[in-house]
Structure 1
Amino acid sequence: MSFGPDGWGYSLLAATGVTVAVAVCGFLVGAMLGCLGAAASFSRFRALRSAADIYTTLLRGIPDLLVIYLFYFGSSSLISSVGALFGAEGFVGAPAFLTGALAIGVVSGAYQMQVFRGAVLALPKGEIEAGRAYGMPPLLLFRRIVLPQAARFAIPGVGNVWQLVLKESALISVIGLVELMRQAQIGAGSTRQPFSFYLTAGVLYLLIAFVSGRGFKLAEQRAMRGIRRAV
Structure 2
Amino acid sequence: MIILQTIGFGPTGWGGLLLVATLMTLCVTAAALFIGMVFGTLIAWAKLSGSRIARAFGSAYTTVFRGVPELLIIYLVYFGGSSLVTAAGSALGYQGFLGLPSFVAGALAVGIISGAYQAEVYRGAFLAIPRGELEAAQAIGMHRTLRFRRIIAPQVLRFAIPGIGNVWQLSLKDSALVSVTGLADLMRTSQIAAGSTRQHFLFFIVGGCLYLVLTSLSDRVFNGAERRANRSMPAGIGQA
Q: What's the TM-score once normalised by structure 2's chain length?
A: 0.92
Q: Which residue, out of 111, 118, 125, partners 2:124?
A: 118
Deviations 1:137-164 (A, max 9, x none): 2221111111111111110010000000
Equivalent-residue separation in structure 1 for 2:105 and 2:181 (angstroms): 9
Q: Which residue, out of 185, 190, 194, partners 2:196?
A: 190
Equivalent-residue separation in structure 2 for 1:56 and 1:82 (angstroms): 29
The farther-off stretch of 133-142 and 62-71 is: 133-142
Percent same amino acid among aligned pairs?
52
Q: Which residue, out of 5, 12, 23, partners 1:6?
A: 12
Deviations 1:167-225 (A, max 9, x none): 00000000111100000000000000011101111111111111111010000001111
| Residue 169 of structure 1 pairs with residue 175 of structure 2 | yes
Change in CA separation of 1:132 and 1:12 when aligned onto 2, cut-off 3 Å: same
CA drift at 1:96:
0.4
Structure 2: unaligned runs, 5 residues or longer: 1-6
Aligned residues: 231
| Residue 43 of structure 1 pairs with residue 85 of structure 2 | no
1:207 alignment counterpart = 213
Q: Which residue, out of 170, 176, 185, partners 1:179?
A: 185
Equivalent-residue separation in structure 2 for 1:88 and 1:190 (angstroms): 37
Equivalent-residue separation in structure 2 for 1:89 and 1:181 (angstroms): 33
Structure 1: unaligned runs, 5 residues or longer: none
**Equivalent position SS for 1:135:** coil
CA drift at 1:51:
1.4
Which residue identity lines up with residue 187 of structure 1 in the other structure? A
Which residue identity lines up with residue 68 of structure 1 in the other structure? I
Q: Which residue, out of 133, 140, 143, partners 1:134?
A: 140
1:15 alignment counterpart = 21
Equivalent-residue separation in structure 2 for 1:35 and 1:81 (angstroms): 31
Deviations 1:106-139 (A, max 9, x none): 1000000000100111111111111111111222
Equivalent-residue separation in structure 2 for 1:108 and 1:123 (angstroms): 23
CA drift at 1:226:
2.7
Query: Aligned Cα RMSD in Å?
Result: 1.4
Deviations 1:33-54 (A, max 9, x none): 1111111222122222221111
Equivalent-residue separation in structure 1 for 2:31 and 2:133 (angstroms): 34
Which residue identity lines up with residue 212 of structure 1 in the other structure? S
Change in CA separation of 1:87 and 1:141 when aligned onto 2, cut-off 3 Å: closer
The farther-off stretch of 60-69 and 75-84 is: 75-84
CA drift at 1:80:
1.9
Which residue identity lines up with residue 120 of structure 1 in the other structure? F
**Equivalent position SS for 1:17:** helix
2:59 alignment counterpart = 53
The farther-off stretch of 134-143 and 166-175 is: 134-143
1:159 alignment counterpart = 165
